[in-house]
Amino acid sequence: MKAVIQKPGQTFVLIAEPLYNKLVEKLKSLGLKVQTGIFRAMMNVKLENKGPVTIILDSNQ
């Protein structure tokens, strides 16, 4: 079956949602408590950064 892409960004959804679901199931199988919501739902995220320190993690080192 061939996927028909009608809107920009829909390709991402076709790839990302199954990967997301697979990750959730893997984490649950490891005994971790996982809570999920609606995939691609609008979210309001608040970030509070306190302190004078910035830590940069570089995975290449």
First to last CA, the chain: 43
| 17-37: pLDDT as tens digits | 889 899 999 999 999 999 988
Q: Kindly report the pTM of this predicted structure.
A: 0.52
How many structural domains comprise the chain?
Answer: 1
User: Given this model, what pLDDT does residue 43 score?
Assistant: 80
- The boundaries of the domain holding residue 1 are 1-61
User: Given this model, what pLDDT does residue 58 score?
Assistant: 77
User: Given this model, what pLDDT does residue 33 score?
Assistant: 93
How is residue 26 written in tokens?
């893997």
% of the chain beyond a pLDDT of 70: 79
CA separation for the pair 32, 9 (Å, rounded): 31
